[in-house]
């Protein structure tokens, strides 16, 4: 375990086993169609790449980068920093996110993607923190429901560190800077 963590919440084995199941479920739901995964950068990268390997139907991938967090606090204001390269009109779109916390980011994403006229639009998140929800969002596929703890690893960062950990962990209080 990384020295800055107080605990490992979800091990690498558990993550990989759940992602395999999600891949099967998604492949079966979209059977006979071509799926467009829209990854929300940067937190989605490890999850999206492992999920993609477990999807057996035709799939294309695009990315969007949003901003609402700095450090550990959400500002509540979501902005698009980098937009999709593809036109998603008429496509079956599955948004791939690292974690749904307040739901503000996903709510923005849903509104933003809907204006582009996809054939279908659903959400797949690796982690779901329902106790922190401020806006209701319809999550179709969820890896794990977790308690109200600030987690890092497997794509999730704290001040741009820890994304490379292959598991999800909880940071020690002493590592978190209070501003």
48: its two tokens: 């999206």
Q: What count of Cα atoms within 13 Å lies in the side-chain half-sphere of residue 60? A: 10
Catalytic residue selected from 62, 101, 128, 179: 101
CB of 128 to ligand 5GP, least distance (A): 10
Give the nearer residue to ligand 5GP in terms of CB position, either 115 or 148: 148
38: its two tokens: 């829209």
CB of 107 to ligand 5GP, least distance (A): 8
Give the nearer residue to ligand 5GP in terms of CB position, either 50 or 101: 101
Give the nearer residue to ligand 5GP in terms of CB position, either 103 or 118: 103
In this structure, how many other beta carbons lie within 10 angstroms of the beta carbon of residue 15? Answer: 22
**Alpha carbons 97 and 99: distance in angstroms, whole number:** 6
**Alpha carbons 111 and 165: distance in angstroms, whole number:** 32
Asked whether the CA dihedral 115, 68, 129, 64 is positive or negative, the reply is positive
Q: Compute CA distances 49 → 4, 79, 147, 157, 166, whole Å.
A: 26, 24, 25, 17, 13
Give the nearer residue to ligand 5GP in terms of CB position, either 30 or 158: 158
CB of 85 to ligand 5GP, least distance (A): 20
Q: Which residues bind ligand 5GP (CB under 6 A)?
A: 43, 68-69, 74, 97-106, 150-152, 156-158
CB of 170 to ligand 5GP, least distance (A): 9
Quick check: is 101 catalytic?
yes
Residues acting as catalytic residues: 101
């Amino acid at each position: 375990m990384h020295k800055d963590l107080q605990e490992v919440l979800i091990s690498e084995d558990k993550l990989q086993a759940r992602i395999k199941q999600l891949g099967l479920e998604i492949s079966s739901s979209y059977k006979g169609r071509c799926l467009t995964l829209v990854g929300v950068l940067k937190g989605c990268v490890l999850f999206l790449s492992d999920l993609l390997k477990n999807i057996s139907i035709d799939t294309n991938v695009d990315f969007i980068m949003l901003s609402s967090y700095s450090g550990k606090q959400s500002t509540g204001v979501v902005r698009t920093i980098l937009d999709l390269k593809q036109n998603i009109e008429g496509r079956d779109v599955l948004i791939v996110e690292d974690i749904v916390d307040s739901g503000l980011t996903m709510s923005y994403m849903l509104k933003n993607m809907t204006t582009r006229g996809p054939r279908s639009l659903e959400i797949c998140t690796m982690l779901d923190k329902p106790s922190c929800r401020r806006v209701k969002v319809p999550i179709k596929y969820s890896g794990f429901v977790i308690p109200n703890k600030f987690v890092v690893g497997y794509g999730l960062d704290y001040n741009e560190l820890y994304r490379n950990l292959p598991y999800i962990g909880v940071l020690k209080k002493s590592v978190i800077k209070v501003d």
